[in-house]
A and B are shown apart, each in its own frame.
Chain A
Amino acid sequence: MAQRIDVNDMNIYYGDFLAVEGVSMTIDPKSVTAFIGPSGCGKTTFLRTLNRMHEVTPGARVEGSVELEGVDLYGDDIDPVAVRRNIGMVFQRPNPFPTMSIRDNVLAGVKLNNRKMSKPDQDDLVESSLRGANLWNEVKDRLEKPGSGLSGGQQQRLCIARTIAVKPQVVLMDEPCSALDPISTLAIEDLIQELKKDFTIVIVTHNMQQAARVSDRTAFFNIAGTGKPGRLIEMNDTATIFSSPAVKATEDYVSGRFG
């Protein structure tokens, strides 16, 4: 279920503008990898290239390769739709489909792939996904109510349930807690610890404490100045990054001296 990602010398452009330059890294399976760094350093941009979501932005293109278990996601025979199905994504702001019930939200992705699923199978999948997202007990009595009626934290867990319902290999999370209150944030962080048993998880976060709490490995991105491309400065075990980073800029950032 969980697979590793190898990134080789990735350059990301918007039109002629080089947004992220020369990123290489390895993301281990069944682990949590956190991307940290100041605003505008390209960590979200980079995250979106891991499942080809950046292609939605007109003019965006990449050089280099992203390999999932040795298969280049940008290869000629690869279908971007299949890529996104296998590398799911949770967004900054919770975005359940407003016109759908909680149940239909969970099933939204599955129904695209498999329309002939039987009702009991659907029920099982809804329950296991919602349980997987620690949401089952809170919503099991109102599965037919619209998803937009839930609290922000519940909505975000619903989005996670929707993402894991399609059984992806990797789950990308783009600042999943930045729109949430502290209690909901803790609930999501606990959930991330649960999820890493089954999935490879990559999380972008602004919150260094969060990175320290949830991740096994941490990558620090930085930018030399406005108009310059973002770069990967350093990547290591989370403990090492926060206690004895190799680069001065990392130390400045994690100790709160800038950013």
Chain B
Amino acid sequence: MTTTDSPQRPARPGDHAERAPARRRRRGTTERGFNRVFRWIATGAGAFILATLAAVALFLLIRAWPALTASEDELSDAVGRIPEGTSLLEFVGPLIFGTLLAALLALALAMPVAMGIGLFISHYAPPRLAQVLGYLVDLLAAIPSVVYGLWGFLVLAPVLKPFWFWLGENLGWFPLFAGQVSATGKVLATVSVVLAVMILPIITAVSREVFLQTPKLHEEAALALGATRWEVIRVAVLPFGRSGVMSAAMLGLGRALGETMAVLMIISPGFLVYSLEILAAARHNTIAAFIALDFAEASGLGVNALIATGLALFLITMAVNMTARAIVARRKDFSGAN
């Protein structure tokens, strides 16, 4: 670390622009005494974060390893939910599927609303009001997930139930709405609605920022051509914000994939099935909810199996988040080059 950060090292043009002030400063030829110690402490804290992330991956892998290498018989003995002759992959597969299905549905529900709110705050609401309204949406993020779970279970599920029945009766030919509609409303569809509400604030926050950054020049160009307010948005704002909105979607997706309590408390879980029937009971579960459901009772190899599923979740969310960050980073370079 000290070598990469030595005072003699010349400033590199590739360094981030926001660190330009630090670069402009000339440090003395040597740093002595507490100056050096302090720099080491600060650098150490940064390195510690990298080490933590590496440790998360490493320890999950180490503790998952026994389950990954165990035979099918050992697994089904240790984990009550895994029937005889089922491999770990055959068990985890439907969980991954359920996780992705719930998160993608939540994203599909949240995305149009979040973009609408983003546009509302950036282009429609009176400027003085916009900040307050933005704060209201942020409040949604402040509510603990366990409270969402409680609300989804006791309030939302009964409210949505008749609507799910209606969908099942009238649109039952559509694969998602096929099958026997659950009599309780505690199904993946309800879970997705709650997840959508939960990821709304983060998608809104990012897309709002992006929309606000639209150059006035381009908006005025559209206006001067005789565009209506919506046409200005379609011609100037949305194309400009496309990559930002995409990364917002990825961040929201990452959040939805990892959410535990709202799923755990609402869904009536099902295992070992790949099913699109989101209105049917006991057809789906997500990784996070499964871990939380079984962790208290697990022991021995059972814990290893749970950690192995957790590892799968970790890898999926990491991939999604890194993609999102890469999009954001590329966008930064792009706008910096202009």
Docked Cα-Cα span, A90 to B223, in Å, equals 11
A163 on the interface (CB 8 Å rule)?
A: yes
Interface SS majority for chain B: helix
Interface size class of B (residues with CB under 8 A): 20 to 34
A203 on the interface (CB 8 Å rule)?
A: no
**Is the Cβ of A85 less than 8 Å from the Cβ of B239?**
no
Q: Which of A18-26, A94-102, A121-129 contacts B (4 or more CB under 8 A)?
A: A94-102
Contact of A91 among B221, B227, B231 (CB under 8 A): B221
**Is the Cβ of B224 less than 8 Å from the Cβ of A84?**
yes
**Is the Cβ of A53 less than 8 Å from the Cβ of B236?**
no
Q: Which chain B positions have C-beta within 8 A of A137?
A: none
Given A97-B235, A98-B218, A99-B240, verify A56-B223 contact (CB < 8 Å): yes
A88 on the interface (CB 8 Å rule)?
A: yes
B189 to chain A, nearest CB (A): 36
**Is the Cβ of B217 less than 8 Å from the Cβ of A95?**
yes
Docked Cα-Cα span, A91 to B224, in Å, equals 9
B215 to chain A, nearest CB (A): 8
Given A56-B220, A108-B235, verify A88-B240 contact (CB < 8 Å): no
B181 to chain A, nearest CB (A): 42
A-facing residues in B204-238 (Cβ within 8 Å): 215, 217-228, 231, 235-236
**B228, closest chain A residue (CB):** A81
B127 on the interface (CB 8 Å rule)?
A: yes
Q: Which chain B positions have C-beta within 8 A of A148?
A: 338
Given A98-B240, A99-B239, A112-B231, verify A93-B217 contact (CB < 8 Å): yes
Docked Cα-Cα span, A34 to B173, in Å, equals 67
Q: Which chain B positions have C-beta within 8 A of A56?
A: 219-220, 223
Given A58-B127, A97-B236, verify A159-B223 contact (CB < 8 Å): no
Q: Which chain A positions have C-beta within 8 A of B231?
A: 112
Docked Cα-Cα span, A163 to B226, in Å, equals 10
User: Taking each of A56, A88, A89, A98, which has the highest tally of chain B beta carbons within 10 Å of its own beta carbon?
Assistant: A98
Q: Which chain B positions have C-beta within 8 A of A209?
A: none
Given A97-B239, A98-B240, verify A81-B220 contact (CB < 8 Å): no
B-facing residues in A80-118 (Cβ within 8 Å): 81-86, 88-91, 93, 95-100, 108-109, 112-113
Docked Cα-Cα span, A163 to B235, in Å, equals 15
What per-residue 1/0 map shows which CB atoms of B283-305 lie under 8 Å from chain A? 00000000000000000000000
**Is the Cβ of A95 less than 8 Å from the Cβ of B221?**
yes
**Is the Cβ of B217 less than 8 Å from the Cβ of A91?**
yes
Q: Which chain B positions have C-beta within 8 A of A211?
A: none
Contact of A159 among B221, B235, B242 (CB under 8 A): B221
**B229, closest chain A residue (CB):** A81
B210 to chain A, nearest CB (A): 14
**A100, closest chain B residue (CB):** B239
A-B contact pairs, 16 of them (CB 8 A): A53-B223, A82-B226, A84-B226, A84-B227, A89-B220, A91-B220, A91-B221, A96-B221, A97-B221, A97-B236, A98-B240, A108-B225, A112-B226, A112-B227, A163-B224, A166-B225
Give residues in A with beta carbon < 8 Å to B. Answer: 51, 53, 56, 58, 81-86, 88-91, 93, 95-100, 108-109, 112-113, 148, 159, 162-163, 166
Give residues in B with beta carbon < 8 Å to A. Answer: 126-127, 215, 217-228, 231, 235-236, 239-240, 242, 338
* Extra A-B contacts (20), CB below 8 Å, given A53-B223, A97-B236, A148-B338: A53-B220, A56-B219, A56-B223, A82-B226, A83-B226, A84-B225, A84-B227, A86-B226, A91-B221, A91-B224, A95-B218, A96-B221, A97-B218, A108-B222, A109-B226, A112-B226, A112-B228, A113-B226, A162-B221, A163-B224
